[in-house]
Amino acid sequence: MKEINQYKEKNVLVLGLAKSGTATAELLHNLGANVTVNDRSPIEDNEQAQYLISKGITVIGGSHPLSLLDQKVDVIFKNPGIPYSNPLLKVAMEKEISILTEVELAYQISEAPYIAITGSNGKTTTTTIINEILATDEKKPLVAGNIGNVSVEVAQNAENDNVMVTELSSFQLMGIETFRPKIAILLNIFEAHLDYHGSLGEYGKAKARIFMNQTKEDYTVVNVDDEIVMELVKEASSTIIPFSTTRKVDGAYIEDGIVYFQGESIIKVDEIVLPGKHNLENILAAISAVKLYGGSNESIIHVLTSFTGVKHRLQFVDRINERKFYNDSKATNILSTQAALSSFDENVILLAGGLDRGNDFDELIPYLKNVKSLITFGETALKLINTAEAAGIKHIKHVDNVEKAVPVAYEMSESGDVILLSPACASWDQYKTFEQRGDIFINAVHKLK
């Protein structure tokens, strides 16, 4: 860990506990800062709060009182999920107080270089593939960010022969100042988190911060098939490495069924076991980063011929009596379910439904051509039934939950069918997380045996 002194004797406010807030507060305290932690939840029964108090750190809970800014505050580290519309943060911005996320602190102390990945979809899959390949090559990758452990915890143990492979959200990137990855990846930009950012333009600007501090010695890997990405990257000072599934580029591309990187043949597409065109984009991005970092073709081939997907992200679960089961519980929006449905040529029995966010599902209709049956659940069940009827799907069932949907799907299926959980909705109407929803699906599949 780099020894840094910029927070010594500084008054630092950490907004939001959880894992990242707790780790950030403890590290800042160890770096000599005067730390106050504020969380809107009560602290009496909060183990993380009590742990920090035992370390001599002030913790204030129950709300975000503006009085916290009555005394001098030099810098705020906030939980990425807390919006800038929060009244305390609005006052902080008026006072021109720096508002950072723990990704910035992790970068400041890390001795290892960074490969950073962002985009609307595919971040976790791309990050995982890069990590798997670099680990096979014994490049000592450390996964951090939105997956794996909290960045500041990982960075404290990172040495110069490691590489930080970090998945970053737009929320996290809003809170950086000096963060400069050696390799940045911008996968795609779709409408997402507009309630947080206000507009697609502001969301794109947040994503583009991933390369804002890079120079010509650094690399930005970009999807040339995404017009918004290509518009944003015009502002980059880094060396641009393109990838494309549709044309030959001076980066990663596909030609005659073979994946190439800058003219070098890497692997045949039909040898890759992870399904879906969208995953080919993720794979091309990952190959680009790995090759730029000195990874070998042998390790790329080894991983891509065995990697079946990140859990809950179009994850192959099992084959039972020639039916294939896929868990795509992470598909919490229509776009993700469109991508999943586009991944299969076989007949699909789709399991979908969940939290009603007020939208309809007409945008799914063009993607339902191979869906022979729909089994729906949750608050959006009726809307999805209407969509399925409009698409001409003849076999539609409404069940109480995911666990009951699995045996019903199996009974409705035939040899060769794909049974796909891809809800197109958040899980919070019935489940705490999409992970819980996916785990219930997996357990229900295994019960069929």
CATH code at 96? 3.40.50.720
Q: What is the pLDDT of residue 98?
A: 97
Q: Is the confidence at residue 195, as pLDDT, over 70? A: no
149 versus 151: which is more confidently predicted?
Answer: 151
- Please tell me the predicted confidence (pLDDT) of residue 191: 60
The verdict on residue 310 lying in a domain is no
> Tens digits of per-residue pLDDT, 18-52?
889 999 999 999 999 999 999 999 999 899 999 99
Instruction: Give domain status of residue 3, yes or no.
Output: no
Give the residue numbers of the binding site for ATP. 119-125
pLDDT given at position 160: 96
Residue 429 is predicted with a pLDDT of 95
26 and 138 within one domain? no
pLDDT in tens, 268-324: 999 998 888 889 999 999 999 999 999 999 999 999 999 988 889 889 899 999 999
47-93 pLDDT, tens digit each: 999 999 999 999 999 999 999 999 999 999 999 889 999 999 999 99
**What's the pLDDT at 149?**
85
Please report how many Cα atoms fall inside a 13 Å half-sphere around the Cα of residue 383, on the Cβ side: 20
Q: Is the pLDDT of residue 395 over 60?
A: yes
Annotated binding site: 119-125
The yes-or-no verdict on residue 192 having pLDDT over 80 is no
**pLDDT of 36:** 98
Answer yes or no: do 289 and 329 share one domain.
no
- Both 319 and 265 in one domain: the answer is no
Domain assignment of residue 410, given as a range: 315-448
Q: Do 243 and 373 fall into the same domain?
A: no
Residue 354 binned pLDDT confidence (cut-offs 50, 70, 90): very high
Q: Which of 304, 333, 349 is the last residue of a domain?
A: 304
Q: Of 280, 304, 328, which marks where a domain is finished? A: 304
Which one of 100, 120, 138 terminates a domain?
Answer: 100
Shared domain for 215 and 349, answered yes or no, is no
Residue 411 within any structural domain of the chain: yes
- The total of structural domains in the chain comes to 3
The length of the chain in residues reads 449
251-262 average pLDDT score: 98
Taking residues 419-443, what's their average pLDDT?
96
Is residue 6 in a domain? no
Return the CATH number at 337.
Answer: 3.90.190.20
